[in-house]
Amino acid sequence: MATTIASARAPTFFEEVVAATPGADPHLELCLQCGTCGGSCPSGPDMDHTPRALFAMIDAGMKDQVLRSNTPWYCVSCYYCMVRCPQEIHITDIMYTLKRMAIKEGLYRESSSSDAYGFSETFIDYVENYGRSFELGVATRYHLRHHPLSAIKMATGMGFSMFVKGRMDLTPTRIKNLDQLKAILGKAKELGGAA
């Protein structure tokens, strides 16, 4: 009986988040609101909501506010929260999920650090076309697009000395079987949707 009711209604935001997170159950429903995650987070002070607060908001179905939040974008993927969570919630993975959802819903721009998306975008653009990342390219292209000033700083300052030290390529390396990779990524995109 309960099941029939469940299948009748559309999935809640909470259920969407859980479904879009890879691996086994991320245990989001187990959150005790203890704040261990928010307390452990290195960039916690810069987030507009702590992860804990975000989880409460997810449960409350505040989809818009959650996907507009800068929290996921400030996640540095250090996984400290996940190591310490007393309920073994896959916090970092959920942050990734929220980023993807924010992008899908086009809400990431509203979050105060939309640059993150720009960087990721530039980064994977190289990966998709060369099979390898290309620091100089990523950096310059991304900076030119997002903060031109620092791009110049880059090229002249640190970037330059990196180059002098032989720690930066001028041209990207391309993998041999790029077509294979492209085919795979193409197929993956077509299959789309989170697992």
Tokens linked to 85: 């969570």
Site for other proteins in 10-49 (CB under 8 A): 20, 22-24, 32-46, 49
* Residue 6 makes contact with other proteins by CB under 8 A: no
Nearest CA-CA partner of 89 in 23, 17, 40, 25: 25
Query: Which C-beta is closer to other proteins: that of 60 or that of 78?
Result: 78
* Residue 177 makes contact with other proteins by CB under 8 A: yes
Site for other proteins in 115-134 (CB under 8 A): 115-117, 119-121, 123-124, 127, 131-134
Total residues at interface with other proteins (CB under 8 A): 90
Nearest CA-CA partner of 93 in 72, 124, 118, 107: 72
Query: Which C-beta is closer to other proteins: that of 14 or that of 56?
Result: 56
Tokens linked to 154: 């880059």
* Residue 142 makes contact with other proteins by CB under 8 A: yes
CB of 183 to other proteins, least distance (A): 4
Tell me how far apart the alpha carbons of residues 33 and 132 are, in angstroms, rounded to a whole number.
41
CB of 163 to other proteins, least distance (A): 10
Tokens linked to 148: 């031109």
H/E stretch holding 155? helix 148-156
Q: Say if residues 94 and 13 touch (Cβ distance below 8 Å).
A: no
**Segment interacting with other proteins, rule: CB under 8 A, options 3-11, 59-67, 139-147:** 139-147
Query: Which C-beta is closer to other proteins: that of 59 or that of 135?
Result: 135
Q: What residues have CB less than 8 Å from 48, skipping those under 6 apart?
A: 69, 70, 71, 112
Query: Which C-beta is closer to other proteins: that of 68 or that of 113?
Result: 113
Any idea which residue has 């009748």 for tokens? 8
**Out of 78, 109, 148, 156, which residue is the one contacting other proteins (CB under 8 A)?**
78
**Segment interacting with other proteins, rule: CB under 8 A, options 4-12, 60-68, 70-78:** 70-78
CB atoms within 10 A of CB 98: 25
